[in-house]
Amino acid sequence: MTAESLAELGRKLDRIVSEYLKLRYQGGKVISFPSGKGGVGKTAITINLAAALALKGKRVLVMDLNFALPNIHMFLDEAPEATLTHYLGGEAELDEVIGKVFVKDTHFDVAPSESIVDFKKKINIEKLNDAISLLKTRYDCLLLDPAPGLSKYVFYPVRLSDHVFIVSADVRPAYMDAMKVLKLLETSKINHEGFIVNMVRGSELKYFAAMNVFAVIPYDGHLKKAFLAGRTVFHSKMGFLSPSKKYFEKMADEISSTFLSNSQST
Ligand SMILES: Nc1ncnc2c1ncn2[C@@H]1O[C@H](COP(=O)(O)OP(=O)(O)OP(=O)(O)O)[C@@H](O)[C@H]1O
Ligand SMILES: [Mg+2]
């Protein structure tokens, strides 16, 4: 390779990097919710927070990144032709994988996934970078709902996120796994905004009392019932009875004012 073609390659790389940084710092924010332990409420938090943000006028996209046991499709009112799994497997275009969830007089968008157990082809998680770069220009925020654990399918999207919240329940096994996620973030120099401690019974935190806690969400039988029906607490006519509803509203207020302040909608 000549010195000239090397210099041209260098300029090309510079252009790609500056385009990437432009997209990273402009447009919507990417927010992810890793957990360590499974079943602590990542999906419940993502979908209820999406509804709360949409009701505040934000343009929201939820992306289901749990490619083993996806759940987000349960909430769809308008299903897309294909899923994110198809997109990452090179079987669909991005615009074909976005569906809708209606809530009151508004909606938020959802990119559901299909389990790789049922999917014949391999997925390329690195294609997520292209998807996120493009989608950030269309939404105020992208909420990423990952699988539990610390696999590359969790770590790669976390790396692409502007803001990371570690989700846990206030019980020892979940706390221990959340600490492993925290350690991995710290050794990888990835900031996190705090823990979201879910399904809390009582007024005192036990394991997270001395930690950086962004939000506490109470145990809520109404949320559980709504979740099983593929709905959020904001859909339910009995939503006023839901103890978690005001916590999601508060979280949406804080996320909007702290992290989405430059977004275009109100
Ligand atoms: N605050 C809450 N109160 C009561 N039930 C809850 C609460 N949050 C979540 N749940 C229930 O706990 C179960 C697990 O929640 P969810 O599927 O959101 O967890 P997850 O972390 O996404 O799980 P996975 O790791 O398998 O993806 C669901 O039945 C959900 O309805
Ligand atoms: Mg989940």
Q: Concatenate the DSSP letters of all residues of the chain into one string.
A: --HHHHHHHHHHHHHHHHHHHHHHHSS-EEEE---SSTTSSHHHHHHHHHHHHHHTT--EEEEEE-SSS--GGGG-SB--SS-HHHHHTTSS-GGGG-EEEEETTEEEEEE----TTT-SSPP-TTHHHHHHHHHTTT-SEEEEEE-SSSSHHHHHHHHT-SEEEEEEESSHHHHHHHHHHHHHHHHTT----EEEEEEE-SS--SSSTTS-EEEEEE--HHHHHHHHTT--TTT-TTGGG-TTHHHHHHHHHHHHHHH-TT-S--
Domain assignment present for residue 14? The answer is no
The first and second tokens of residue 172, run together, are: 């020892």
What are the tokens at 146? 């990952």
Residue 16 lies in a domain: no
Confidence of residue 4 (pLDDT cuts 50, 70, 90): confident
Whether 185 shows a pLDDT value over 80: the answer reads yes
236 pLDDT more than 90 = no
State yes or no: pLDDT of 220 exceeds 90: yes
**Residue 219 CA, closest ligand 1 atom number:** 3
At which residue do the structure tokens 């989700």 appear?
167
| Distance (Å) from CA 111 to ligand 1 centroid | 19
Nearest CA to ligand 1 atom 8: 41
The pLDDT value given to residue 143:
98
**Residue 226 is assigned to a structural domain of this protein:** yes
The whole-number pLDDT of residue 27 equals 79
Mean pLDDT of the chain: 92
Task: Tell me whether residue 24 is in a domain.
Answer: no
pLDDT for residue 266? 40
Ligand 1: which of 66, 73, 113, 223 to mutate, most ligand atoms within 8 Å of CB? Answer: 223
Number of domains composing the chain: 1
CA angle 48, 54, 60 (to 5 degrees): 90
pLDDT band at 168 (very low <50, low <70, confident <90, very high): very high
8 CA to middle of ligand 2, Å?
45
R_g (Cα) of the chain, nearest Å: 19
Looking at all shown ligands, the one closest to residue 166's CA atom is 1
What is the arithmetic mean of pLDDT over 102-111?
98
Residue 22 resides in a domain: no
Distance 252 CA to ligand 1 centre (A): 19
Q: Residue 70's CB: how many other CB atoms inside 10 A? A: 21
Q: Is the CB of 223 under 6 A from ligand 1?
A: yes
Separation of alpha carbons 200 and 209, rounded Å: 12
Paired tokens of 54: 């949409």
Which CATH number does the domain housing residue 153 bear? 3.40.50.300
CB of 38 sitting under 6 A from ligand 1: yes
pLDDT by residue (tens digit) across 127-158?
A: 999 999 999 999 999 999 999 999 999 999 99
The best mutation among 32, 33, 40, 166 to test binding of ligand 1, ranked by most ligand atoms within 8 Å of the C-beta, falls on 40
Residues 164-183, mean pLDDT to the nearest whole number: 98
> What pLDDT does 13 receive?
76
Which amino acid residue places its CA nearest to atom 9 of ligand 1? 41
Domain-embedded: residue 79: yes
Is residue 264 very low, low, confident or very high in pLDDT (cuts 50, 70, 90)? very low
The verdict on the CB of residue 242 being under 6 Å from ligand 1 is no
Give tens-digit pLDDT for 25-68: 567 999 999 999 999 999 999 999 999 999 999 999 999 999 99
- Amino acid occupying residue 146: P
40 alpha carbon to ligand 2 midpoint, in Å?
A: 8
Assigned domain for 105 exists: yes
Q: Residue 103: its pLDDT value, please? A: 98
Ligand 1 contact via 193 beta carbon (within 6 Å)? no
Whether residue 72 lies inside any domain: the answer is: yes
In short, whether 41's Cβ falls inside 6 Å of ligand 1 is yes
> Band of the pLDDT at 265, cuts 50, 70, 90?
very low
Q: Which residue has the higher pLDDT, 2 or 20?
A: 2
The CA 264 to ligand 1 mean position distance, Å, reads 32
Give the pLDDT band (50/70/90) at residue 118.
confident
**66 alpha carbon to ligand 2 midpoint, in Å?**
7
Instruction: Report residue 99 CA to chain centroid gap.
Output: 16
The reply to whether ligand 1 has any atom less than 6 angstroms from the CB of 160 is no
Give the domain range for residue 140: 29-259
**Which residue type, as a one-letter code, is found at position 54?**
A
Phi, psi angle pair for 144, to nearest 5°: -100, 125
